[in-house]
Chain A
Amino acid sequence: MSMPSIYKTLGTSVLMAGMAFGSTAALAADGPLRGNVRVVIGSTSTGGDTYQNSNIVVDALAEHLDLNMKVDAVGASSAFRFLDRDPRGNTLMIFHDQSYLGYLYGVEGYEDIFDKYTIGPTIAINPGNAYLVPKDSPYQTLDDVIEAVGNGEEVRVAIQPGGVSEIGFSALKNAIAIEHPGMEDNLVAVNTGSQADKNQQLFDDQADMINGTVQANEQYTRLPEDDQKAMRFLWLTARNSTIEQAPEDGLGKTTREQLLQYVEPNVSVPMGNGDDFTFDKEFFFLYNKDMDPAIVDQIDQALTEIYAEGEIQETQKNSFFIPNFKPSEEAAEYLETKMSVYEDIITNIQ
């Protein structure tokens, strides 16, 4: 390398570094939230609903607060650890009901989030949690399943253990225990992994019913009955009022009207207290307990303004999320009640 070209390279790199530094410095904001903010999520997938939903909200926040914010799909156990170590507010977390369901099911790596963290605002619902059977299944409704199990028939349900995928199964088991005491053990969990694995269990005839989602399984429900892969929805765990807010066209070629057939009160899974069980997978922020409360307020404030503008709701609905903004305090109270309901169910069936 000749000398002049060395100086040239050197000059360019210094210039480049200078420009880059300059641009970060210019982004210094006025609020308590400062510097670059990293939002870690409890999922390792960048194709999944948590990542997608977090990105929608974080992008809006970053623009509104004029900050550098970035979503990183590090997974639950790493995300909790990052959050534990950073009280400055540079690390925030977004996750869903798994964060406390994991704790309720006693999964390693989960602790009581209400005790250990500050709960931030809820941002949206993924209303897609569903249970499906093969299209040629003898079970026409969820009641048929409950009846069959009550009569001593074994029904195998493919789920991913320890959280969102299991809670509907637990509630069903609980309902059977109430209506047909002693028969609930005939509802058997087939513990498996991804959606592909669950579908495969159904194709292999190793399961009679699977946990799935509207998004991933909708096309399977439209296959002709003679297709080995054809499925049928039996139950969506979402609240009726949640599906009511979905776009009228629903998803794919299944309209909102059709989806509403599969939610309560059309499908009823009693909890024993007069109410039917429902489960909405809700996304919310989690903060380090020692983080400056001013940051909590700042994010609440910013999100209130963003949701007031109304644009973000459209984006969320386009991706089949149901907007559901609740500021921190309201969210914490709401989620804690939600957890206690599920805690009862899980202790009941143990």
Chain B
Amino acid sequence: MESGLSSLLSVSIDFETSHLFFPHIIHWLMGGLFALILVFNVAPFLAAVRRGEKTLPILGESMDKFRFFGTLALIVAYFYLMAVVGNLFPYTGYGFLFVSMAFLFLMSLMYMHTRTRRKVITAAINALVAPSLAWFILAKLFQITLP
């Protein structure tokens, strides 16, 4: 009995494949938990959706499509262009500086519900000052590499 237990518990890990040992355990855990969730949470939920008591997440909800997808598109453009422009002026941080200015201004405009002259000017100034300040302090003063 004693030896049976200890051989059950004994394990030998081959160094070459040791990178898969732990992920393997996690996969089993995840699979098991997922199955339980399907049975106890998802199935009742879907039944409720079918009865019309609840709505599907994301698909069934109302959303401000313009601002949501606008935000995503702006962020993607921001990240992408920052690297592209930055590559034209290697390691000066100008990519960050210039693209941030455009990004801040556009995002501010998008999030305003009423565009008064005063608000737009505030946004414009913010778009100029905030990136310059960040760039100056970090890239110049502290010599942190920026895109």
In the assembled complex, B92 has its CB within 8 A of some CB on chain A: yes
Which B residues are in CB contact (< 8 Å) with A20?
135-136, 140
Which A residues are in CB contact (< 8 Å) with B15?
161, 191
In the assembled complex, A26 has its CB within 8 A of some CB on chain B: no
In the assembled complex, A102 has its CB within 8 A of some CB on chain B: no
In the assembled complex, A36 has its CB within 8 A of some CB on chain B: yes
In the assembled complex, A37 has its CB within 8 A of some CB on chain B: yes
User: Within B66-108, which residues are at the interface with A (CB < 8 Å)?
Assistant: 89-92
In the assembled complex, B41 has its CB within 8 A of some CB on chain A: no
In the assembled complex, A24 has its CB within 8 A of some CB on chain B: yes
What 0/1 readout, one digit per residue, does chain B (111-147) give for beta carbons within 8 Å of chain A?
Answer: 0000000000110010011001101100010010100
Within the complex, the shortest CB–CB distance from A297 to chain B, in Å, comes to 21
Which A residues are in CB contact (< 8 Å) with B133?
13, 16
| B interface size (C-beta, 8 A) | 17
Contact B91 A16 (CB under 8 A): no
Which A residues are in CB contact (< 8 Å) with B145?
38, 70, 72
User: Could you tell me the dominant secondary structure of chain A's interface residues?
Assistant: mixed
Residue ranges of B at the interface with A (Cβ–Cβ < 8 Å): 15, 89-92, 121-122, 125, 128-129, 132-133, 135-136, 140, 143, 145
> Number of contacts between A and B (CB, 8 Å)?
47
A10-B128, A38-B91, A88-B90 are known; give 15 further A-B pairs, CB within 8 A.
A6-B121, A6-B122, A6-B125, A9-B129, A16-B132, A17-B132, A17-B136, A20-B136, A35-B89, A36-B91, A36-B92, A38-B90, A70-B91, A72-B145, A91-B90
Q: How far is the CA of A13 from the CA of B136 in the complex (A)?
A: 10
3 nearest interchain CB pairs?
Answer: A90-B90, A36-B91, A13-B129
Sort chain A's interface into a size bin: 20 to 34
7 residue pairs A–B, Cβ–Cβ below 8 Å: A6-B121, A6-B125, A9-B125, A10-B129, A16-B133, A20-B135, A90-B91
Q: How far is the CA of A70 from the CA of B125 in the complex (A)?
A: 31
Within the complex, the shortest CB–CB distance from A207 to chain B, in Å, comes to 15
Within the complex, the shortest CB–CB distance from A3 to chain B, in Å, comes to 9
Contact A10 B92 (CB under 8 A): no
User: Within A1-43, which residues are at the interface with B (CB < 8 Å)?
Assistant: 1, 6, 9-10, 13-14, 16-17, 20, 23-24, 35-38
Which A residues are in CB contact (< 8 Å) with B143?
70
